[in-house]
């Protein structure tokens, strides 16, 4: 997710740690190593597995388990706790991306809808969740920022877990500080962004997923507030008719069609450039040519992929970082915006005084390295040096056997009903 493990792997290798990356078969293409790299050096330390992350008991796991035995220390995100637990291996450091710690481990406790309340219903959900819960409880260390405490998950896990309130690096900044000129020749959309730069006075850039219309996501805290940005941008276009504005958006997320409809209703279709789901290196090239970056606006999030990318390139960033009327002394350079008016005012001021906003963002990359990259790398290296090989708790090993048995029974019955 967000290239977190690929990024961490490269930073650790820069510190002479013999670190290797394992990639599951079902990772989205825009999260693969080649999507975040301008060369193929990653192939020297990357293993592409021939099975999905959810294939906990597939026959071809024997080969994977044999490869894993070569390693002394395990770091993972997403379903890594569940997968390693199924392999009988303890995850040493878990770096969650969000729902993999506050949602997935507890899904097996949720009441199933009556229309699908059958014992073979969504078996993958059941054992993903169960194994994730056991896997996390066997993990020694979890690196996750305290802002995730709002989901109240810590009290539901073992008290032996050590939590470290840090924001893990999502981006290998070294390769993007100075994107090579030759990079454009290897990118699919470089010419598109170059043309936009020539044709527009101001380019506003937003690569966030479109989650703002679906009430389910809003209630669970995953809304992005894309509608607020779109409305503020429409006001900008209306208030400055003599300027040529373009806002770059990505066809990414469940509510893309609702965003397109809102844009049409506001009559700003001609000022929007839609881009398909893209590799990070493509996004970074486009963002580098943009004037101002935008994050999320539904609720305060201190860190996310869009924030990382803006800071890395020292771009002025409009984002809902902390609640209105609060001041975060530790925050990165940000134009904090909690509502549509804030977004519009920042965009309007930027049009009037663009040089002032460039100065605001000038040390974004420096902040990123100092507060996100270095503390996490130092901690992980410390934990590696202190590592004492640990085994799964005997009780959990017994539980694993029981889960295996239940899943095999459920899968057998499912096949009978399907046939």
Mean pLDDT of 141-152: 88
Q: Do 281 and 387 fall into the same domain?
A: no
pLDDT for 407 equals 65
Q: Do 120 and 262 fall into the same domain?
A: no
Q: Look at the chain and count its residues.
A: 419
The residues, any chain, with a CB within 8 Å of residue 163's CB and separated by 6 or more, are: 141, 142, 144, 154
Indicate whether 131 pLDDT > 80.
Answer: yes
Q: Do 334 and 357 fall into the same domain?
A: yes
Mean pLDDT of 302-307: 90
Per-residue pLDDT band for 414 (boundaries 50, 70, 90) equals low
Q: Do 224 and 312 fall into the same domain?
A: yes
pLDDT digits (tens, 9 = 90+) for 239-280: 999 999 999 999 999 999 999 999 999 999 999 999 999 999
Q: Do 278 and 356 fall into the same domain?
A: yes
Indicate whether 157 pLDDT > 80.
Answer: yes
Q: Do 24 and 164 fall into the same domain?
A: yes
Residue 108 domain-assigned (yes or no): yes
Mean pLDDT of 165-183: 85
Q: Do 119 and 12 fall into the same domain?
A: yes
Phi, psi of 309 (to 5 degrees): -65, -40
Per-residue pLDDT band for 396 (boundaries 50, 70, 90) equals low
Q: Which CATH number goes with the domain that contains 411?
A: 3.40.50
**Which residue do the tokens 């920022």 mark?**
145
Indicate whether 115 pLDDT > 60.
Answer: no
pLDDT for 398 equals 77
- Grouping H, G, I as helix, E, B as strand and the rest as coil, residue 296 is coil
Cα distances (Å, whole numbers) of residue 206 to 226, 273, 305, 412: 9, 11, 11, 47
Q: Which CATH number goes with the domain that contains 252?
A: 3.40.50.2000
Q: Do 213 and 360 fall into the same domain?
A: yes
Domain count, the chain: 2
Mean pLDDT, the chain, as a whole number? Answer: 88
Task: For 334-355, give one letter per residue: b (16+ CB within 10 A) or e.
Answer: bbbbbebebbbbbbeebbeeee
Q: State what percent of residues in the chain have pLDDT above 70.
A: 88
Q: Do 381 and 333 fall into the same domain?
A: no
Q: Which helix (H) or strand (E) holds 230?
A: helix 226-239
Indicate whether 397 pLDDT > 80.
Answer: no
Q: Do 319 and 410 fall into the same domain?
A: no
- Residue where a domain terminates, one of 324, 340, 367: 367
Q: What gap in Å lies between CA 288 and CA 182, rounded to an integer?
A: 15
pLDDT for 122 equals 54
The residues, any chain, with a CB within 8 Å of residue 130's CB and separated by 6 or more, are: 108, 403
Residue 43 domain-assigned (yes or no): yes
Indicate whether 317 pLDDT > 90.
Answer: yes
pLDDT for 389 equals 65
Instruction: Write out the two tokens for 48.
Output: 């592409």
Q: Which of 37-41, 110-114, 192-196 has the lowest mean pLDDT?
A: 110-114
**Which residue do the tokens 């878990």 mark?**
94
Q: Do 280 and 232 fall into the same domain?
A: yes
pLDDT for 416 equals 64
Per-residue pLDDT band for 367 (boundaries 50, 70, 90) equals very high
DSSP-H helix ranges across 297-370: 305-312, 340-352, 354-360, 364-368
pLDDT for 120 equals 46
Residue 39 domain-assigned (yes or no): yes
Indicate whether 112 pLDDT > 70.
Answer: no
Indicate whether 341 pLDDT > 70.
Answer: yes
Q: Which of 31-45, 76-90, 295-309, 392-406 has the lowest mean pLDDT?
A: 392-406
pLDDT for 394 equals 63
Residue 177 domain-assigned (yes or no): no
Judged by phi (left if over 0) then psi (alpha if -120 to 50, else beta), residue 405 lies in alpha
Per-residue pLDDT band for 329 (boundaries 50, 70, 90) equals confident
Domain residues for the domain of 28 are 4-169+375-418
Q: Do 98 and 139 fall into the same domain?
A: yes
- Residue where a domain terminates, one of 367, 387, 410: 367
């Amino acid at each position: 997710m967000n290239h977190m493990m690929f990024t961490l792997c490269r930073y650790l290798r820069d510190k002479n740690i013999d670190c290797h990356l394992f990639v599951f078969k079902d990772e989205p293409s825009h999260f693969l190593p080649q999507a975040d790299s301008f060369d193929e050096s990653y192939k020297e330390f990357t293993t592409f597995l021939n099975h999905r992350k959810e294939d906990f008991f597939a026959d071809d796991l024997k080969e994977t388990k044999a490869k894993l035995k070569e390693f002394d220390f395990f770091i993972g995100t997403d379903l890594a706790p569940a997968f390693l637990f199924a392999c009988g291996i303890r995850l040493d450091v878990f770096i969650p991306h969000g729902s993999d710690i506050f949602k997935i481990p507890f899904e097996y406790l949720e009441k199933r809808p009556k229309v699908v309340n059958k014992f073979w219903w969504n078996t993958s959900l059941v054992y993903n969740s169960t194994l994730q819960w056991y896997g996390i409880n066997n993990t020694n260390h979890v690196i996750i920022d305290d802002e995730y405490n709002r989901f109240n998950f810590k009290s539901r896990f073992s008290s032996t877990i050590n939590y470290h309130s840090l924001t893990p690096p999502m981006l290998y900044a070294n390769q993007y500080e100075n994107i090579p000129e030759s990079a454009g020749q290897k990118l699919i959309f470089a010419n598109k962004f170059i043309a936009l730069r020539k044709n527009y006075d101001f380019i506003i850039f937003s690569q966030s997923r479109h989650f703002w219309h679906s009430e389910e996501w809003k209630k669970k805290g995953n809304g992005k507030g894309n509608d607020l940005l779109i409305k503020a941008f429409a006001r900008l276009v209306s208030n400055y008719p003599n300027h040529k504005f373009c806002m770059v958006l990505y066809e990414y997320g469940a509510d893309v069609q609702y965003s397109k409809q809102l844009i049409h209703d506001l009559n700003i279709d001609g000022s929007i450039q839609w881009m398909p789901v893209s590799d990070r290196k493509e996004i970074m090239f486009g963002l580098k040519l943009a004037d101002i970056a935008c994050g999320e606006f539904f609720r305060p999030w201190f860190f996310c992929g869009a924030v990382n990318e803006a800071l890395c390139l020292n771009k002025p960033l409009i984002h809902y970082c902390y609640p209105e009327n609060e001041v975060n002394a530790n925050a990165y350079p940000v134009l904090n915006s909690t509502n549509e008016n804030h977004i519009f005012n920042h965009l309007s001021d930027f049009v009037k005084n663009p040089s002032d906003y460039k100065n605001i963002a000038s040390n974004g990359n420096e902040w990123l390295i100092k507060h996100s990259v270095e503390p996490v790398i130092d901690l992980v290296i410390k934990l590696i040096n202190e590592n004492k090989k640990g085994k799964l708790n005997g009780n959990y090993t017994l539980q694993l056997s029981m889960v295996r048995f239940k899943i095999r029974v459920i899968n057998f019955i499912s096949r009978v009903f399907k046939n």
